[in-house]
Structure 1
Amino acid sequence: METTPLLPLASWGTPDMVFDRLEGAWDLDRSIEGKATMVGIARFARLDTGQLKYREEGRIQLPDGQAFDGHREYVFERSPDGFSVFFAETPLRLFHAIVIVRKGDELVGSAGHLCIADQYDSVYRFRADGSFVIEHLVKGPRKDYLSRTVFKRRGL
């Protein structure tokens, strides 16, 4: 069986190195099944606290042709073998904590979050090509969709 070299994965390093490697600008491409798409830019900026402020901005396209600009912000905080993601509120409120493990040629972390009655099950995949993917499977009385966002380092 022939194996693919894992050299690009070295850009992510080990699970405890992923947090630092997020810093900078990323192109994002999101699909929310049957509901919308979004193309834009995400930036992870280092704060004085050592945390990373995440801000995404982009153009959202609805199936009926309507389009508008949107943005979202979170705060990421390093934790052993991963990171925690907080809603950018005062005070910060935990969205989920991600523990990253190696699975094949990817580094992967997952977590769940109950928002009132809607369950968010999230998976972060840090891929061998240097990109990463965040998927949120959302189920509940008000929501039922899969959001999938692919991030590629800007300028590559």
Structure 2
Amino acid sequence: METTPLPPLAFWGTPDTVFARLEGAWDLDRTIESKATMTGMAGFTRLETCQLKYREDGRIRLPDGQSFDGHREYVYERSPDGFSVFFAETPLRLFHDIAIVREGDALVGAAGHLCVADQYDSIYRFLADGTFVVEHLVKGPRKDYLSRTVFKRRGL
């Protein structure tokens, strides 16, 4: 029996094209269940090393009404089946490797990372509408939450 290959997702293409399509500016909307929300902007900028520098800046709001500015940085590097995410430190330190596969109408990658005694289980979903979602389920003696961030290309 012959199978017909699935068509590529309109914006993301195939697992091996996702990395290149991250470059640029994104609006972000994050919810950290029962703890905070964040809205802002994220950017992926190409470095001379062919890596992408990720930086997010936004406004964090706590349930009690307090708010403040926050930012975070990572370095992304292409890998054969997806990408690796590093903490933006010198030297770079691996956060996790994401291998991307087709799952229905999305491209999906997942990984885990143990930070001292807290486990981070992460899922990246690249959706057919050009958005992507990153979820971090964090469990351990000091942390217990789900962070969900939706990214939408700026200007769309």
TM-score range, shorter chain: over 0.9
Structure 1 runs not aligned, ≥5 long = 1-5
The answer on whether the counterparts of 2:8 and 2:14 sit within 8 Å (CA) in structure 1 is no
Structure 2 runs not aligned, ≥5 long = 1-5
CA distance in 2, matches of 1:39, 1:154: 13
TM-score between both structures, scaled by the size of structure 1: 0.95
The answer on whether the counterparts of 1:85 and 1:97 sit within 8 Å (CA) in structure 2 is yes
Cα deviation 1:81-138 (Å, max 9, x = unaligned): 1000000000000000000000000000000000000000000000011000000000
CA distance in 1, matches of 2:8, 2:71: 30
The letter of the residue matching 1:56 is E
CA distance in 1, matches of 2:63, 2:38: 12
- Other-structure match for 1:42: 42
The letter of the residue matching 2:55 is R
Q: Per-residue deviation at 1:10?
A: 2.2
Q: Per-residue deviation at 1:11?
A: 1.2
The answer on whether the counterparts of 1:8 and 1:128 sit within 8 Å (CA) in structure 2 is no
CA distance in 1, matches of 2:10, 2:148: 24
Seen in structure 2, the aligned counterparts of structure 1 residues 110 and 26 have a Cα distance that, compared at 3 Å, is same
CA distance in 2, matches of 1:100, 1:126: 9
* Matched residue count: 151
Cα deviation 1:42-78 (Å, max 9, x = unaligned): 0000000000000000000000000000000000000
The runs of 4+ residues in structure 1 deviating greater than 6 Å are none
The answer on whether the counterparts of 2:10 and 2:129 sit within 8 Å (CA) in structure 1 is no
The answer on whether the counterparts of 2:112 and 2:120 sit within 8 Å (CA) in structure 1 is yes
TM-score between both structures, scaled by the size of structure 2: 0.95
CA distance in 2, matches of 1:45, 1:145: 29
CA distance in 1, matches of 2:101, 2:54: 22
Calculate percent identity across the aligned residue pairs: 83
The answer on whether the counterparts of 1:8 and 1:130 sit within 8 Å (CA) in structure 2 is no
- Other-structure match for 1:31: 31
Counting helix residues as a fraction of each chain, which structure ranks higher? 1
The answer on whether the counterparts of 2:106 and 2:128 sit within 8 Å (CA) in structure 1 is yes
The letter of the residue matching 1:72 is R
